[in-house]
Structures are given as structure tokens and as C-alpha cells.
Amino acid sequence: MNGVNGSPAAPTPWASLAEPPLQLPGTIQPHGVLLVLDRAADTILQVSQNAHIHMGMSASQLAGAPLTTLLSPTQIEAIRQAVPPPLARPIPLPVTVTTGAGPLACDGFLHQTATALVLELEPTIATAPVNFLSIHGLVRQTLDRMQQAESSCVLLQLVVDAVRQLTGYDRVLICQFDLQGAGEIIAEAKQPDLASFLGQRFPATDVPTAVKESYASGKLRAIPHIQAEPVSLFPSQHPPTGDPLDLSRAVLRSSAPCAVTYYTNMGVAAALVLSLCQAQRLWGLVSCHHTTPKPLSYETRAACELIAQMAASELANKLRQEDLKQRTKLSALRSELITSITQASNLIDALIQPEERLLTLVAASGAAICLGHELTLIGTTPSADQIRALIQWADQHITEPLFHTACLSHAYAEAEAYKATASGLLLLRISRIQHYLILWFRPEVIQSINWAGNPETGIQIDEDGQMQLGPRTSFALWRETVYATALPWQPFEISGAIDLRNAIVGIVLNKADELGRLNQELQHSNRELTAFAYAAAHDLKEPLRGIYNYANILLEDYSAVLDEEGGEYLLEIQAFTQRMETLINALLRVAQLRQTQVKRQRIDLNPLLAEAVAIVRASRPEAPFELRLPRPLPSIHCDPTLINEVFRNLISNAIKYHDGPEKWVEVGYHDREVSQRDRAHQAPESERIFYIRDNGIGIQAEHFDDVFKLFKRLHPQERYGDGAGVGLAIVNQIIERHGGRIWVESTPKQGSTFYFTLTQPY
Ligand code: ADP
């Protein structure tokens, strides 16, 4: 049987267990004899039909006969003493049967049903000769090694190796059941020429719940010859009740026909299955297969069972340790991540550098981080658009801060389109207001498992026309079960995500609080500073005016007593006070501007410019200039008073910082600026870029940024007039208040161009 990709089809290792209903096959395996005794162990009530083969007496002879027909009084007394309580597992005891051909040594198994005693006898000659010492040595060695095994993997490998060595079977597997009951083969020992089944998975439906429950109570099942003809009991009805006997605890119980077909199809002729239980739950099974019939002695089976039991208890420790190790690792990872978030100025960098950290935290294969409008994807995820739509859906439908599902398309049908990458979703909402979310994704299980089955073949119909589970049918079912389903999110992964959320919320809130506080402080100090500057400027102006006036009085009324030098000093004093007043006025304007509200309206800039030019011309009649206007200016959304001030300042500077006779000023605009400087600024589409160009003295490149600073002048006072070094600072502030930017390009001696942008909200 070949599966997809030509790899061998995997058997369901516990196929023999799928045999409903468990307690009523009514038949036993032929390698032993089953006797049903009355509760006092006096009379044989029923006996298997193969009694004559092993004991030389027919079932009809034995049924109803006293037990002394087969056993000595001492042996019968030993049996009476050994009877286990009802519902307990069969207890082993050595039994010697008296037959016509002489004594027959058997391994006996005795248990009690509700109405009778059941004594099963396996002639020891049927099993291979056993060397107790070699079995004991191997068991001891295995148990010692199991205690030292550094991981559960190593431990389980020791188990399969030892069980294979003990049984001599071709293949020994361990399959583990997940919480949903699906199985995965996690350890294997086999003949070298057999193909491996390691890593293959099987659906939960392969092991009926009744079987799981029976194995959870610790059970061993041996079928030394699968194809052997089952044997019925005589009489077929159990005498006290008239019903078929409950054989659910019988060691010799035969297998259901579908299980026999199943094994036969797989080429398996003998099987042994042992349970691995954890806290009363069936954690897994050790399943042994052989290609030819192979009886195992009771000692061998018991040794295997002992190893399985020890492994189960040792496994509990190992799994606890590994779980703890994993949790410690995850919690260290989480702490590391939280530390990064606390220290980093940028939340996204802290989250995704390195990317694996965020994914390992919850064993995801991809993640999306949404911070406001910003979406960052790492690992394997659906597309950004698909994730945006998913977030939109989550915004409307998920109110809890944490949502997780292993089957996203059940909750959100659109996810069907990307089930391969995101059947599992763990969504963490950090802030609804700020729209901060982290989404982790897991792929569909079917994509992520190593499966070699072929769903198209192998449906088995039994004699009654009923469809039976076969390996291939199982696959079809499995596919259906896990369609669009990811591996489930583990509780500790979910709690880890919640911890992360709490930490981020704390940090983000703290940062927001801190920012808010700083903002408040800043606003407060800004207000105070402005008020102070305002008051200081006002208060300064008064004494200044006093100084000026007194200097004037001295000049006018005391000119007779002043010599020429004294008069000049007084004039100097007046010039200084005037300069001081200019500076104070500039300061006042800057302070005022901070508090001025920008009142935007749609304004035709042409009359605004004309007005500004007229003012400049009037204030500098000595410096005529040509106004160049390549095309009329547009209408724009702005505060006309403030933009008028911008034009006045820039045009006035263009005229002022000029040495030549022919002065001109060009005022224009670009819809999209093309200069290098602008490219660096990456002007968005909606911006208009205005410029004011002159043929003046120009500015050296190292001062391009300085000129916009308050009180920054590039020339001594006596050159180029009465500047206070404030004009460009004011212009800068006005443009910024409009949401624009300003910069200069210039070549000394050739002129300068001042650019500023104004955004277009419509
Ligand atoms: P001021 O009030 O002194 O003119 P500004 O803030 O307007 O101050 O300008 C700062 C400095 O930038 C000026 O002192 C001048 O040196 C330089 N500057 C401004 N505009 C121009 C220009 N169009 N050409 C050359 N230099 C200029």
C-alpha cells in the first residue's frame, strides 16, 4: 500500500482496538482455553470449544462437570484463595491441568464477572521458551536508563527499543494522544528495512472512547496470531443469566473482524498493545507489530507492561520538567520582550526585533502588529489587506481583549481563503482607543503535519454491509476533522499573551501618562514664558521711553550746556533705545504669535501680495525694486494677516540684503516642488510650494538653517540696515502654525530663494 508521494501508507497502530462492542465478541483466541466457573469454583459452567485440542476433553464433556475433572483439590483451593475482587484485572497464577495425556502446565489468569469466575489458561508450551534472567537483566537496565534519560524523547526511545528487544517484534511504536484524542507517532523501533511511521498523525475517531477508557485503567492486549480462527464458548449462553458472557476483561478475548481485516491489510500477523497513562488519562499507547504469528510468554508480556508502567510514571516527571523548562524559557523570553518595550522609544521595534521572539512566545508561524494605522507583518501571514479586513471584523465582533481560535473560518468565513497560513488566530487587543493589536497566526494542521495516507482508497465494508474504519477511511475522516483547523493554543501560551498585554498596557499607559504630564508642563511653562515675555517687554518699554524722552529733553533744553561730544552721546543713547524698542517689539510679536490663533480662510493671494509690496515700497522709498510675477498666485486656505506678514518680511529682506543697483524680487509657486531640497522633504501631493527669489547678496550654505533662529543676524548692525534678526523667526513660526515648512536655497552674491509650503485641505 502506497500513500501520497509514494511513501508507505501508515497503519493505525491501535487498529485492533477499534472493535465495537468491546465486551461481546463471544469468542476467544484459540491459543488458550477459557473456563467459566461458578463463584465457589466448584463447577465448570462454560468452556471454550477448543478444550479438546489442549486438554483432550471436549467442551460438551466439560460443561457442567466439576472443576476437579481438570484440576487437583490443591490447585482449586489455590484458585479460591486467589480470586480478585469484581471488576479488578485478571490475576496471573500457575495452573497445572490434568489431561488424559498427562499434566499440562499453563499460565492461568483469573478474574471475576458479576455472575461468575473466569479462568483463562494459556499452555506454556505455546509460548517461546523464556530465560527469566535475561528478561530481568534487560528490564533492570532499561529502568536504570529511563531514570537517567535527559528528555521524554530519549525515555520513549528507550521504551520502544527495550520492548522490541523483549518481544522480538518487527516494529514497536509509541503514539501520543493530544487533548482532542488525535494521535501522533512519536517514537519507533523497527526492522531496518521497514519504512518509518514516525511523525504521522491519526484522527481521534480511530480509537473509540470505550477503548480509550478501558486502556486508561491500564490494560495490555496480546494477539499472537491475528488470523487464527476465533473459538466460541459452550454453551454459548452464560447459564446463570442466559446472556452472552461479558468478556471485556478476558486476556484471551478475540478481535473484531474489522480489526483482523485491518491488520491483515497491513501485513501484520501478531500484535501487542500496552497503555501509557497519565493521571487516569490515556496519554499514549505502545503498539507492537510482527509480520508472522508470534506468541509471547506471560513473562515477556509482563516485563513489557512493567516497562510501560515505569515509563508512564517517569514520563510524568520528564513532562513536568520539560513543561517547566518550556514555561521558564517562555517567561524569560517574555521578560526580555517587556524589558525591550520599556527601554525602547519605539514599540514596534521592541516587539519585532528579533522577529522570532514574538513568534516563539506563542509558537506561532506569523504575526501582525497593528499600531493605529501602522501594520507590520512578520513570518507567514495572510496579506496586509486580508489582515486589515480581519481587524475590522474583530473591531466589530470581539469585545474581549483576548480572542483565540484554532479554526478561524468557523468564526469568520473570509478566513477560508487563507486557511493554509492562518487557521489559528490568537488576537490580543492592547488598546481599543489607540487601536493597538497583536495577531498571531498558525497554519492549518493538514498543511503542517507529516502524513502519508491516501484518502481515496481503502474504504472497508464488513459482512453486514457496514462501512468500517480503515486506514484510508480514517484519513478522510481525519481530513474532515482537521479541515481549516490549526493546532490548539495551549493555556500557558494564552496566559503568556495576556501577561504580555498587561505589561504593554502598563508601559504604554505610563508612557502616555508621562507624555500627557510633560505636555501639560510644557503648555504651562509655554504660557508662563509667553506671559513673562509679554509682561517683560511691556515693562521694559516704559523705562526705555523714559530714557529716550529724557535724552530728548537734554538735547533740546540743555544743548547750551552740552558740548558737541555730549550731544553725540545723547543721540547714541536715543539710537540705542530705538534699537532696544525694535528688539522688544520683535520679542512681543514672537510672544504674541505663540498665542495667536490661526484663522484660516480661502484667500486670493494676489491682492495680499500687492498690499505687502506696497507696504515695503512705502517703508523703503530709497530702494526701488522690480516685482516679478511669472504667473498670478493661487487662492489658498490661510490666515491672511499672517501670510501678509510673511510676504512683507521676505520681500523686505530681499530688498534689504542687496548691494547692487538693479533690485528685483520674484514671487511664484510650484504645485510640486522639483528642487533637491524639496525632494529631501518629500512634499506630499496636497502641498503648494511658494518662493520668493531675489538677486541680492545671497547666503552661505552653512547659515541656511541659522537664519531662521531668533535674533540671528549674519551682518553687523551698521550693514544692511536696522534688522533685529527676528523677521525670519517670525516667518518660520507663521508657516509652522499653518502646518507648512520653510527653507532657503542660495548662492552668495547671486541671490537667494526662500521656499515655504502651505497645505491644501481641499
Ligand atoms: P533681520 O530682521 O535682521 O532682517 P531676519 O531674521 O529677517 O533678520 O534675517 C536673519 C538674517 O538672515 C539677516 O540678518 C540676514 O543676514 C540674512 N538674510 C535674510 N534674508 C536674506 C536675503 N534675502 N538675502 C541675504 N541674506 C538674508
Q: CA-CA distance, 144 to 444, in Å (whole number)? A: 41
> Average pLDDT of 501-529?
74
Nearest ligand 1 atom to alpha carbon 586 = 2
| pLDDT tens digits, one per residue of 41-59 | 999 999 999 999 999 999 9
Helix (H, G, I), strand (E, B) or coil at 52: helix
More confident residue, 755 or 247: 755
All three cell numbers of 160, joined, read 520502544
Task: Please say whether the beta carbons of 667 and 629 come within 8 A.
Answer: yes
Alpha helices for 2-150 (secondary structure H): 51-55, 59-62, 73-82, 132-148
Neighbours of 309 (CB within 10 A): 16
pLDDT at 184 over 90: no
The DSSP output letter for 486 is P
Helix (H, G, I), strand (E, B) or coil at 478: helix
All three cell numbers of 372, joined, read 493605529
Judged by phi (left if over 0) then psi (alpha if -120 to 50, else beta), residue 121 lies in beta
Estimate to the nearest angstrom the gap between the alpha carbon of 673 and the chain centroid.
Answer: 45
Band of pLDDT at residue 513, cut at 50, 70 and 90:
low
pLDDT in the model for residue 207:
63
The percent of residues above 90 in pLDDT, for the chain, comes to: 44
pLDDT in the model for residue 205:
61
Give residue 451 CA to ligand 1 midpoint distance, Å: 78
Of 395, 428, 429, residue with least CA distance to 412: 395
Give residue 477 CA to ligand 1 midpoint distance, Å: 83
Q: Whose Cα sits closest to atom 7 in ligand 1?
A: 727
pLDDT in the model for residue 208:
63
Task: Please say whether the beta carbons of 28 and 230 come within 8 A.
Answer: yes
All three cell numbers of 521, joined, read 508642563
Site residues for ligand 1, CB cut-off 6 Å? 649, 653-654, 657, 694, 696-699, 707, 712-715, 723-729, 752
Indicate the helix (H) or strand (E) that contains 121: strand 117-123
pLDDT in the model for residue 485:
81
pTM score of the predicted model: 0.56
pLDDT in the model for residue 270:
95
Give residue 740 CA to ligand 1 midpoint distance, Å: 20
pLDDT in the model for residue 210:
66
Q: Whose Cα sits closest to atom 8 in ligand 1?
A: 725
Pocket test for ligand 1, best of 707, 708, 731 (most atoms within 8 A of CB): 707
All three cell numbers of 685, joined, read 501631493
> Average pLDDT of 672-684?
42
Nearest ligand 1 atom to alpha carbon 694 = 23
pLDDT in the model for residue 352:
85
Contacts of 350 (CB under 8 A, 6+ apart): 337, 340, 341, 343, 344
Residue type, 176: Q
Q: Which of 24-28, 120-124, 481-485 has the lowest mean pLDDT?
A: 481-485
pLDDT at 695 over 90: yes
Does residue 21 have a cis peptide bond before it, meaning omega lies within 30 degrees of 0? yes
pLDDT at 187 over 90: yes
Q: Whose Cα sits closest to atom 16 in ligand 1?
A: 714
Indicate the helix (H) or strand (E) that contains 172: strand 171-177
Of 604, 755, 598, 613, residue with least CA distance to 688: 755
Indicate the helix (H) or strand (E) that contains 520: helix 491-557
C-alpha atoms less than 13 angstroms from C-alpha of 359 in its C-beta half-sphere: 17
Helix (H, G, I), strand (E, B) or coil at 202: strand
Give residue 725 CA to ligand 1 midpoint distance, Å: 7
Q: CA-CA distance, 584 to 578, in Å (whole number)? A: 10
| pLDDT tens digits, one per residue of 276-333 | 988 778 889 999 999 999 999 888 999 999 999 999 988 888 888 888 888 888 888 8
Give residue 720 CA to ligand 1 midpoint distance, Å: 9
Band of pLDDT at residue 752, cut at 50, 70 and 90:
very high
Task: Please say whether the beta carbons of 384 and 377 come within 8 A.
Answer: yes
Give residue 728 CA to ligand 1 midpoint distance, Å: 7
pLDDT in the model for residue 371:
87
Neighbours of 320 (CB within 10 A): 11
The DSSP output letter for 727 is H
Q: CA-CA distance, 526 to 227, in Å (whole number)? A: 95
Pocket test for ligand 1, best of 728, 744, 746, 750 (most atoms within 8 A of CB): 728
| pLDDT tens digits, one per residue of 85-136 | 987 889 999 999 998 888 999 999 999 988 899 999 999 866 666 677 888 8
The DSSP output letter for 400 is S
